[in-house]
Structure 1
Amino acid sequence: MSTLLSPFAYDASIMMTASHLPYTRNGLKFFTKRGGLTSPEVKEICDKAARKYANRLTKVSTMLRTTPTRVDFMSCYAKHLRDIIKERVNHPVHYHTPLKGFQIIVNAGNGSGGFFTWHVLDKLGADTFGSLHLNPDGMFPNHIPNPEDKTAMALTRAAVLQNSADLGIVFDTDVDRSGVVDNSGNPINGDKLIALMSAIVLREHPGTTIVTDARTSVELTRFITNRGGQHCLYRVGYGNVIDKGINLNKDGIETHLMMETSGHGALKENYYLDDGAYMMVKIIIEIVRMKLAESHRQRDSRSHKRS
């Protein structure tokens, strides 16, 4: 997003992460305005760099030509997410705090997802008391930050039930994956999370194609087709799933959701990025809209009875 949002709009960006791998591992993800670089593209860059180094075509120096500047991009990104929630909920009473009256538990697993609690939910009026493991700690002292991890889901479920929260959110380390726990303590990940996102996307884009990896169930296919959607099963690997969605859109086949059972999910409207925070934004907007619609129905019912 740092290559897209003003005033930054960088030509390229690099994210240091190896997701939920052990603390002894790390990695790099490369991005341009087109999105994340694919494995072949990263390999090509590395091969070119290796050839130049081997042939001494590029002078290797530890001296920086320009001094790096530290910027606060996360505030810009968090505002971007807040604005989406405010605009799409369009709360009739408190527009700027549309999450007032909602309690949402976040389990960041000591990864980088704590910002979503402090800079998105809290500022929109949500009650986030009871949230877990928000401070980053690469040693992962509590559990692996992973929406597929049983401990992560169990702790989030317990927190939701203990606090009578409306929703629980589980992020992985670098927030490209997420899962949820509903207000009854039911974990929603894997096929269930894809089904939830499919229901939201199909209402917004009737008849759209949804791409998943081939591990998803027949029940999910039935769920999607019963709602008028098309289900395209493709090779395992979130990169493969996202690329398939991109290519289908290029071929004129409307495809708005690409999602893998591990929790990686990308939306056409969000630049095809597997962004777990954006996925949660979509779900939170849905929950608030449902509550507003229910309140409206109750008011209409009371008014009808009085009349």
Structure 2
Amino acid sequence: MRTLAPEIFKAYDIRGIVRTTLTADTVRRIGQALGSEAVARDIKAIVIGRDGRLSGPALASALADGITRTGVDVIDIGCVPTPMTYFAAHELGTESCVSVTGSHNPPEYNGLKMVLGGQTLYGEMIQDLRRRIEKNAASAVPPGDTASHNFCQGRGVVRHASVHQAYLDRIVGDVKLSRPMKIVIDCGNGVAGGVAPELFRRMGCEVTELFCEVDGNFPNHHPDPSKPENLVDLQRALRETGAELGLAFDGDGDRLGVVTRDGEIIFPDRQLMLFAADVLVRNPGAQIIYDVKCSRWLAESIRHQGGRPLMWNTGHALIKTKLKETGAPLAGEMSGHMFFKERWFGFDDALYTGARLLEIVSRWEDSNWPLKNLPNAISTPELNIKMNEGEPHALVAKLRAGGKKLLPGARELITIDGVRAEYADGFGLARASNTTPVVVLRFEADTQAALTRIQAEFRSALETLWPGIRTGF
């Protein structure tokens, strides 16, 4: 049997290097396993969308081939942002979809984000697909064979559909600006470039476009707005155009970056403060969910607005699952994923998030004022320590086991996802990424001296546990 690369089966998606760990044959076999699971759940059709990567058409075709071999139909909606694929699952009534996307990873990567029956696949559900393939348990109808196979009635069919206008109409019909705005959008040559300019112009914005031509080579900068270096072009365009706000999108359009007129990056945990204040006006006392990387000021802000903060694990699938479980109207991650259940569907959508942001700030004559006056602290962006596959989880497990012996200055350790050490004047976090072999770190403090102290304590702990490690901070 052809060997699978087990490392592509991540915690909340499938992701690998095209033609190396993620081949068309592998994706076809994943499609068969996914189709078999769909049959078991009595799901008749699955929507497939893909981002703008050069490998997308071939992998989407292989995926469709695998799914239809099990008797399940495919609805192909073409090259669209990941959130539009999620939207299509609702709009077309399947409640099931796959986005063929490498998200913000380099051009040689691609992957799959999967939803079946309204449930985002993650953790053991993704591992079950791997095990199903390894056991050759996926039911398959040979190409061209229309006879029934096991519990399938013939081969599924591939249909084509577009939800582009329905998606735009749904947002523009609901989200309203109080006045016209002048903005800059940077799509980083990702797939959002095919949608964002039209959306924001229809909302009444004057739009300056940066890198909105969809190009899977990403020739201008990496499409990851969580990294400050990828926002330099947007900051420069704001200075040159006099626009009042800048929006940046990642490679598949599910994460948002925000930059003010004077070039300040409003990181997602601060964005979430603004969104929570708005949502809580209409949903008093509601629970607001955020991940372990977010500012400690976020919880305080939510409480101040009468809401109930809930810290949870990082990961779009994990946050969506918790949102559904709790009935919360809003959730967000430090990486830029925002999840609106109020007035939307509860999936992460940077285009919709950008629209909601403009709706809020357009109420002010100076749209930057509410952003600039959000609670803030001295903090680092996300820091990464590159390691070999498997090592980050081993290191973080050792840190968790060592506890306060390794981090004696902490007054509390939160271990729901990695180790977050809370101090009287700040916090430090170390967690293993579930998508790449890195340890993710973030630090925040009331003063620069406190930030330096907390970082030094983490550095000492990591160097003790892993001699020779290069922390880089």
The TM-score with structure 1 as length reference comes to 0.79
| Structure with more of its chain in strand, by fraction | 2
Structure 2 equivalent of residue 226 of structure 1: 304
Tell me which of 119, 129, 133 is aligned to 2:198: 119
Quick check: which one's helix share is greater? Answer: 1
Which residue of structure 1 lines up, in the alignment, with residue 287 of structure 2?
209
Aligned to 1:285: 359
1:15 Cα deviation from its structure 2 partner: 0.9
Gap runs ≥5 in structure 2: 1-86, 147-154, 368-473
**Partner Cα separation in structure 2 for residue 57 and residue 66 of structure 1:** 13
- Counterpart AA for 2:98: I
Compare CA radii of gyration and give the structure with the larger one. Answer: 2
Q: Which has the higher contact order (CA 8 A, sep 6+)?
A: 1
Determine if the alignment matches structure 1 residue 239 to structure 2 residue 239.
no
1:68 aligns with 158
Give the Å deviation of 1:32. 4.1
Corresponding residue of 2:273: 195
Name the residue aligned to 1:271: 345
Of the three residues 113, 116, 120, the one matched with 1:36 is 120
1:218 to partner: Cα distance: 2.1
1:75–1:119 Cα contact (<8 Å) kept: no
Is 1:12 matched with 2:96?
yes
SS in structure 1 opposite 2:232?
A: helix
Overall identity of the aligned pairs, in %: 25
Aligned partners of 1:237, 1:273: CA distance in 2, in Å? 12
Aligned residue runs from structure 1 range 65-144, under 5 A: 65=155, 68-86=158-176, 89=177, 101-129=180-208, 131-144=209-222
Tell me which amino acid in the other structure corresponds to 2:336: G
Aligned to 1:301: none
**How far apart are 1:11 and its partner, in Å?**
5.0
Q: 1:271 Cα deviation (Å)?
A: 2.3
The aligned amino acid for 2:311 is: L
Partners of 1:265 and 1:167 lie apart in 2 by 18
Distance of 1:133 and 1:79 partners within structure 2? 24
Structure 1 unpaired stretches of 5+: 92-98, 250-254, 294-307
Q: CA deviation at 1:102?
A: 1.5
Shift of 1:26: 0.5
Distance in 2 of aligned mates of 1:156 and 1:55: 49
> In structure 2, do the counterparts of structure 1 residues 179 and 196 end up closer, same or farther at CA, with 3 Å as the change threshold?
farther
User: Normalization by structure 2: what TM-score?
Assistant: 0.53
Structure 1 residue 236 displacement after superposition: 2.7
1:157 partner letter: Q
Quick one: distance in 2 between partners of 1:187 and 1:2?
32
Contact 2:104 2:223 in 1 (8 A): yes
Residue correspondences, number: 272
Secondary structure in 1 aligned to 2:285? Answer: coil
CA–CA distance in structure 2, aligned partners of residues 222 and 169 of structure 1: 26
- Computed over aligned residues only, the root mean square deviation of the Cα atoms, in angstroms, reads 2.6
Question: Which whole-Å CA distance do the structure 2 matches of 1:167 and 1:287 have between them?
Answer: 10
Distance 2:346 2:203 in 1: 26
AA aligned opposite 1:226: H
Find the residue that maps to 1:21 and give its secondary structure. Answer: coil
Cα deviation 1:86-127 (Å, max 9, x = unaligned): 4xx5x6xxxxxxx6x311111001101113433211233321
Q: Structure 1: which 4+ aligned runs deviate by more than 4 Å? A: 62-67
